[in-house]
Amino acid sequence: MNFNVTPVEAVTREFLAVVLAGFGNELLPLTSEHGEEPCPKALLPIFNKPMLDYPLSWLEQSGIKDVLLICPSSHRAAISHYIHSDSTTTSFASLRIDLQPFDESQDLSSGTCSLLKHFASRIQDDFVLLPCDFIPPPSLPLSKLLNKFRTESATDGAIATTCWFEAQRTGSSPDEWGASFPSPSIVWDEVTGTLLHVDVPDGTDHRGELELRMGLLTSYPRAKLSSKFHDSHVYVCKRAVLDVLLQKHHFDSLREDFFPWLCKIQYQNTKRIKYGHALGALADSISNSISMKHSTLHTNVYAKIKLTTLEPRTSESSPQQSRIGLSMPSSPAESDIDQSITSSLRIGVIIHRAENGFTLRANNLGSYLDVNRHFLTSTSYSLPSEPQKRALIDQKANISSDSAIGDFTRVEEKTSIKRSIVGSHCVIGKMVKIVGCVLLDHCVISDGAKLEGCILGKNTTVGVKAELIRCVTQAGYEVEENGSYRNEKLDVADWAAGPEDSSSDEDDDEDEEEDEEDEDEDESEESET
Amino acid sequence: MAPKSAGKENLMHEEDEVLQAVILADSFNKRFKPLTTHRPRCLLPICNAPMLDWTFESLALAGVQEIFVICRSHADLVKAAIKSSKWSKPNTGLKIVPIVTAKETFSPGDAMRDIYTHGIITSDFVLVTGDLVSNIRIDEVVRAHKERRKTNKDAIMTMVVKESGANHRTRSKGDSSIFVLDAETSECLHYEPVIGYPPKTHASIPREILEEHPEIEIRNDFIDCSIDICSVEVPSLFQDNFDYADIRRDFVHGVLTSDLLMKNIYCYIAKEGYAARVKDTKSYASVSKDILARWTFPLVPDDDHPAGHNYEHLRGNKYIARDNTVSLSRTCKIGNNVLIGSHSQIADNAQVLASVLGQRCKIGAGSVVRDSYLFDGVTIGPNCVIESSIVGAGVHIKEQSQVERGCLIGDGVVVGPRATLMPFERLSRKRSIESDEEDDEDGEDEDDEDEADDEGEEDDDDDDEDDVDSDLEEVEANQDPDSLEYLGKDNNAVIWPRVSLDEDEDVDELEGADNQRLMRIGDSASDLELSDLGSESSDSESDSESSSSDDDFGGSNPSSSVTSLPLSTPTNLVAQADTAAELEFISEVTQSLERAFAEGHSVDNAAVELKTLRMASNVPLRRVREAVVASIVERIKIEESGAPQRQEIGSVIDRWGGLIDKIGGVDAVETVEVLQAHCATSIRLPLFGQILAALYHHDIVEEDDIRKWHSSPSSQGEGIKSAATRENYLKCWTTGAHMIQQFDEQESDEESEGSSSKEGSEEEESEEDDEGDEEDDEDEGDESSES
């Protein structure tokens, strides 16, 4: 009998991936419209690959097949084109991507919660929620999260698993680009990998003090607290979580409102009573708990902690036992192990530390630059081998090995490029100096220009001998000759004299250029601040 | 100092340095009463050796060379105990110096100030309490501390903590703490004391510590061993901050929160070893069990018994005195985890389970001793049952008695035969018997001694009562003869009140009655709602998020019922205590008003005074209103005839009526209710109508208020027990009816009251019940003061 014949499709799908691609208001002006065309954040290149590539290939590696990609309707065409075009370097053959637009304008976007609620009917399974801007390290495959979720949801009723990472920030971006948000403090339990509390700044001023429930501290007596971690916004959730979300009407952002709230269910009994049923606390745990009670391998995690910290060397008799005149060993900890019988409803968390690999979310200008630079450190540039492309690069150009040059980019003589990424189809003149920059596609840099620590949007034109230091430009921006800028965000709006022609000159195979952003939470943050 | 270069000098220096320890041999509380009436807590035996000896042993193990014992209560006894201790013999390498502090030393902080004034500390020292049992290598902690001091002069203290679980039995539920540490260095960044009841709901961690410490541990699983390595500055800090009382809650908290001191405190997390304090009767039991279970090795009964006894360790952690003086009947049953002192006798069919028996104990035939701790010379008659109790030295429990869990029986008590002790009874020997008749073994002389003790330094473990003797006397005076009957005809006992009502209002929550229950031996406190798990939600939710949502489902909110969960006995007692406090408040208000009336204060000034009083005693507004109304009513002179009477009422209300609305809240309906309640029990009942009318004329009460009051069921005296009072209520109500009739006549619209008045009445109804009796007391007070 040939077992291989069994169609793969017969396996019911386990997870649906939900990828949120938003506007990227934190990445302005890179994501502002280029003429009539949007620049979707999801398609902003990181190391010359669209940002969206990273989460999608992460998903693909984990074996997840179904993806629900949610993007603003204005970005739909561009993203759809990208997904379906064969020209993309990686084609996600094994992914079935369902692209769904949502209607909202860039200025006024609704929160991630309502977004998810809106698409709730399309989500019938446990799901993985990802942002389009999470750049996972090789050391953290998605399957690691999935496996943790699988184990914990089956054994003790965890409802979600997420990941927080420690970011190495080089701090290179100037304040003028917008202060990066301080990450919220989190409280988590290292032993069980449980997220306990997210200290969302709530406007009201408990400025001075972080209030923690004693219930939390009793259940998890060795909690850790730190503010150096960032939310990856990757959540593996039970479908039931969505049901609860549907009940909560006033939540806006998943990250700032819903998940911090969800953490509380695990140690607050009243919430547990209210929502436990919806979360399946009873349903699937009873059969499980019976088997768990009889299992010798599985011990409730905190029961185990109690027992192991002071392992009883001998016995003491507890009242009932001694009544019979017997004494059995008993732990000095008063047992309330019946905890293990009910579901924990906890949120698992993987804490990814900096030493385990570089991780970042490219959700603001600073981190966008950092991510790009990070990839430079891990690769070394060599001149293209194809003669056709090779010919575009002048012999006398000086390109350091920690740089990257896109296809069909022309580099003229005596130009030096260091620690920079230059997109495709750019034209770089003579005697240009580019240090620590990211140039998107189709940029034109005239002779003698000097760029340092800049991000240039698509189709940016830099005039002769212009000097830009730590600036960001909107797509299609033109820097005048001898212009000199420092620490500025340059966008078309305040560039009154700009002729519009540059925006339309290019052929349209570049469709993927625009950027947009990702999670709408960024927006909500921004709108709040 | 670098070890190499300065090595030699350093070495010499260190050799010279004597490791000093300070033992606070007073507990500064009275959780062991009445066991501690005749000896200090630190001399109570645990596993048949005084606690102080265990402490000496623990310190000696750690290489301490010089010990100062700070004693206050029963200082003579402590001194004598030190003199006779084996560590006072020459060549032990230990120098023990008792220091008697003033009687006014009420807290560890006072003791520390005393240490400072004595100037005995010359270097880093170990600070422990006199009830410590430990086998932790304190010398290593000291070394770590000194090492740290070399680089950081501000590290003034290292606290030794032991990892356990959040629910470890040795970790007191009633008095634990949360330590917030730097994950790397174990620097203590924040300290939060936790009491068990009322359950603490939140721990507040200052966010600013995150700025300097990237990763922080919040530990709720430490047993605080109360072993502190302190630098010389510590006593002087106590001296500078005279309000520091408790070492943890005041000193540690103060140092960590101070912006000026810039001192650091570190924790030493002991991974190995054992250390615990006997700070209450519950931990007495758990530490005893830990010793028997050999956690404290090498400090175990069969090896290194601090009192020098010799025990044989048998399978199942049974320890029997080795000198062959123990006589065990062939049919008796000795369970596991039992320690039996020498010369003890266990008769036929007796059972001793998980208990400690002192020397010369006799257990009668067929008796059962379970989870109990018997001091020396206890005699238990046949067929008794002793459960989870601590029985003092020389106690005689006669045949067929029952001692339920949690009893504390003071030295020399005799009960039975057929005595029944209720759970958590506390007995001590009757003083009158001691001094008047000559009771068995106690001769006059001993009584005198006792007396001397009592008068002298006996005030012992309590902060607020100075004289145990008077304490005892008071207890005796309040004896309920009926309850003594249960103790058998031969008893010589006095029963201590369940919860001392004399506790001051401001008694700190740690010592609160319910919280103390968590520290009692044998008390599972299962009726107390301890986990804040249950009581959470709503409150927190509503402040952390915009609550609106949470209430839109599942209406009923468990927390409301849980938080107000009535607790059987203790709360009643607390309620009584509250009542007492309120009565006191009322009398003060009365006096204050009296002064105001007499000296003609302005209404505003009187109101300010009232508010202050109310703040001070934290009573509900209604009580204030009651007191004010009562005072004003009593102020009205009773006249013979109608007209002058009306005039009198008018003038009084005119002068003082405004005060009623200035006490901090306006509630005219309540005013009428209160007025009714007062008049119903006063001789001024006939004046009710006129007073009400006067209030109406002065716009203190509006027509609607009267209608509202009138339509409420309580205004008709519903729920009032005494028939006479109810009748009076009815009279008032009828008077009110007349008034309303008049209103109706005046203006003919009357419907308004129907529905709106209902709600108001329902709210008030519940309060109405207890009002009657209180009103009575208050009344008497008023009247007497007036006459």
Instruction: Give residues with Cβ within 8 angstroms of A319, minimum separation 6.
Output: B370, B371
Residue B360: what are its φ and ψ, rounded to 5°?
55, 35
B625 neighbors B674 (Cβ within 8 angstroms)? yes
- Across B238-263, average pLDDT: 85
Q: What is the DSSP string of B693-734?
A: HHHHHTTSS-HHHHHHHHHSGGGGTTT--SHHHHHHHHHHHH
Integer Cα distance of A147 and A135 in angstroms? 20
Contacts of B168 in chain A (CB under 8 A): 306, 310, 332-334
Instruction: State how far residue B543 is from chain A, nearest Cα, in angstroms.
Output: 9
ipTM of the complex: 0.75
Instruction: State how far residue B191 is from chain A, nearest Cα, in angstroms.
Output: 13
Q: Look at A322 and B354 and tell me if their CB atoms are within 8 Å.
A: yes
The confidence score (pLDDT) of residue B127 equals 92
Beta-carbon contacts below 8 Å between A and B: 205
Contacts of B194 in chain A (CB under 8 A): 214
- HSE (CB half, 13 Å, CA atoms) of A481? 2
End-to-end CA distance of chain B, in Å? Answer: 81
The residue behind tokens 């005074």 is B609
pLDDT tier, B366 (very low <50, low <70, confident <90, very high otherwise): very high
The three-state secondary structure class of B605 is: helix
**DSSP-H helix ranges across B108-212:** 108-118, 138-151, 209-212
Of B214, B335, B546, the CB nearest to A250: B546
Q: Tally the residues of chain B.
A: 787
- Across A191-216, average pLDDT: 77
> Among residues B196, B216, B551, which one has the least CA distance to residue A210?
B216
Q: Which tokens is B174 given?
A: 């009633």
Q: Look at A270 and B534 and tell me if their CB atoms are within 8 Å.
A: yes
What type of residue sits at position B246?
D
The confidence score (pLDDT) of residue A293 equals 57
Q: Look at A215 and B167 and tell me if their CB atoms are within 8 Å.
A: no
User: Residue B666: is its pLDDT beyond 80?
Assistant: no
Q: What percent of chain B has pLDDT over 70?
A: 78
Q: Look at B333 and A267 and tell me if their CB atoms are within 8 Å.
A: no
User: Residue A505: is its pLDDT beyond 80?
Assistant: no
Q: Look at A221 and B294 and tell me if their CB atoms are within 8 Å.
A: no
Checking A454-457 for CB contacts under 8 A at 24+ apart, the result is A455/A30, A455/A365, A455/A368, A455/A369, A457/A29, A457/A30, A457/A34, A457/A39, A457/A515
Q: Look at B169 and A333 and tell me if their CB atoms are within 8 Å.
A: yes
Environment class of residue A329 by beta-carbon count within 10 Å: exposed (0-12), middle (13-18) or buried (19+)?
A: middle
Instruction: Give residues with Cβ within 8 angstroms of B132, minimum separation 6.
Output: B51, B54, B55, B58, B225, B226, B227, B275, B276, B277, B278
Nearest Cα residue in chain A from B190: A209
Nearest Cα residue in chain A from B181: A224
B546 neighbors B568 (Cβ within 8 angstroms)? no
The confidence score (pLDDT) of residue A507 equals 39
Superfamily of domain B20-277: Spore Coat Polysaccharide Biosynthesis Protein SpsA; Chain A (3.90.550.10)
pLDDT tier, B123 (very low <50, low <70, confident <90, very high otherwise): confident
B382 neighbors B398 (Cβ within 8 angstroms)? no
User: Residue A502: is its pLDDT beyond 60?
Assistant: no
Contacts of A208 in chain B (CB under 8 A): 206-208
Pairing of strands B49-50, B187-195: unpaired
Pairing of strands B222-230, B155-163: antiparallel
The three-state secondary structure class of A468 is: strand
**What is the CATH code for B309-430+484-501+516-521?**
2.160.10.10
Select the residue from A310, A311, A355 to test the B interface by mutation, using most B Cβ atoms within 10 A: A310
Continuous segment of H or E residues that includes residue A241: helix A239-247
**Residue-wise over B230-241: b if at least 16 C-beta within 10 A, else e?**
bbebbbebbbeb
The confidence score (pLDDT) of residue B327 equals 92
Residue-range domain boundaries for chain B: 20-277, 309-430+484-501+516-521, 578-746
End-to-end CA distance of chain A, in Å? Answer: 65
Q: Which tokens is B290 given?
A: 């830990």
CA angle B215, B216, B219 (to 5 degrees): 150
User: Residue B287: is its pLDDT beyond 70?
Assistant: yes
User: Residue B311: is its pLDDT beyond 50?
Assistant: yes
- Across A291-320, average pLDDT: 44
Candidate ranges A39-43, B266-270, B682-686; pick with highest mean pLDDT: B266-270
pLDDT tier, A494 (very low <50, low <70, confident <90, very high otherwise): low
Nearest Cα residue in chain B from A226: B215
Contacts of B218 in chain A (CB under 8 A): 187, 212, 217, 222-225
Q: Mean pLDDT check: name the lowest of A493-502, B384-393, B513-522, B549-558.
A: B549-558
Q: Which tokens is B437 given?
A: 């008749």
Sign of CA dihedral B500, B505, B508, B510: positive
Q: Mean pLDDT check: name the lowest of A192-196, B510-514, B678-682.
A: B510-514
Give Cα B335 to chain centroid, integer Å.
34
DSSP state of A341: G
Nearest Cα residue in chain B from A198: B544
The three-state secondary structure class of A110 is: coil
The confidence score (pLDDT) of residue B393 equals 92
Q: Which tokens is B122 given?
A: 């010359």
B338 neighbors B318 (Cβ within 8 angstroms)? yes
Select the residue from B189, B191, B202, B212 to test the A interface by mutation, using most A Cβ atoms within 10 A: B202
Integer Cα distance of B336 and B353 in angstroms? 6
Count Cβ atoms below 10 Å from residue A291 Cβ, excluding itself: 10
> Among residues B51, B55, B47, which one has the least CA distance to residue B39?
B51
Pairing of strands B187-195, A461-462: unpaired
**DSSP-H helix ranges across A49-188:** 53-62, 76-84, 112-118, 142-155
Q: Which residue has the higher pLDDT, B617 or A95?
A: A95
- Across A101-119, average pLDDT: 75
Of A225, A251, A257, the CB nearest to B218: A225
B96 neighbors B67 (Cβ within 8 angstroms)? yes
pLDDT tier, A390 (very low <50, low <70, confident <90, very high otherwise): confident
Environment class of residue B341 by beta-carbon count within 10 Å: exposed (0-12), middle (13-18) or buried (19+)?
A: buried
The three-state secondary structure class of B472 is: helix
- Across B160-171, average pLDDT: 80
Integer Cα distance of A413 and A238 in angstroms? 58
Checking B392-399 for CB contacts under 8 A at 24+ apart, the result is B392/B35, B393/B358, B394/B441, B398/B488, B398/B490, B399/B364
What type of residue sits at position A307?
L
Q: How many helices (H) and strands (E) does chain A have?
A: 15, 32
Integer Cα distance of A167 and B720 in angstroms? 70
Residue-range domain boundaries for chain A: 16-203+213-283+344-365, 383-490
CATH class of A383-490: mainly beta
The confidence score (pLDDT) of residue A247 equals 84
The confidence score (pLDDT) of residue B770 equals 43
CA angle A182, A188, A194 (to 5 degrees): 130
Q: What is the DSSP string of B405-424?
A: TT-EE-TT-EE-SS-EEPTT
Examine domains B20-277 and B578-746 and report if their fold is the same: no
- Across B293-312, average pLDDT: 86
Q: Look at B207 and A209 and tell me if their CB atoms are within 8 Å.
A: yes
Q: Look at B335 and A322 and tell me if their CB atoms are within 8 Å.
A: yes
- Across B371-386, average pLDDT: 93
Q: Mean pLDDT check: name the lowest of A280-294, A513-527, B264-278.
A: A513-527
Candidate ranges A107-116, A294-303, B51-60; pick with highest mean pLDDT: B51-60
Q: Mean pLDDT check: name the lowest of A225-239, A279-293, B716-730.
A: A279-293
pLDDT tier, B458 (very low <50, low <70, confident <90, very high otherwise): very low
Q: Mean pLDDT check: name the lowest of A460-469, B271-280, B370-379, B729-738.
A: B729-738
- Across A502-521, average pLDDT: 39
Give Cα B494 to chain centroid, integer Å.
21
What type of residue sits at position B639?
E
Give Cα A26 to chain centroid, integer Å.
14
User: Residue B452: is its pLDDT beyond 50?
Assistant: no
Instruction: State how far residue A318 is from chain B, nearest Cα, in angstroms.
Output: 9
The answer as to CATH 3.40.50.800 being correct for domain B578-746 is: no
The three-state secondary structure class of B222 is: strand
Q: Which tokens is B587 given?
A: 């009398």
CA angle A343, A251, A152 (to 5 degrees): 20
The confidence score (pLDDT) of residue A316 equals 38
CATH class of A16-203+213-283+344-365: alpha beta
Instruction: State how far residue B286 is from chain A, nearest Cα, in angstroms.
Output: 9
B658 neighbors B701 (Cβ within 8 angstroms)? no
Integer Cα distance of B692 and B700 in angstroms? 9
B487 neighbors B404 (Cβ within 8 angstroms)? no
pLDDT tier, B426 (very low <50, low <70, confident <90, very high otherwise): confident
The three-state secondary structure class of B235 is: helix
Q: Mean pLDDT check: name the lowest of A13-17, B71-75, B383-387, B612-616.
A: B612-616
Instruction: State how far residue B503 is from chain A, nearest Cα, in angstroms.
Output: 28
Q: Look at B208 and A208 and tell me if their CB atoms are within 8 Å.
A: yes
pLDDT tier, B45 (very low <50, low <70, confident <90, very high otherwise): very high
The confidence score (pLDDT) of residue A288 equals 54
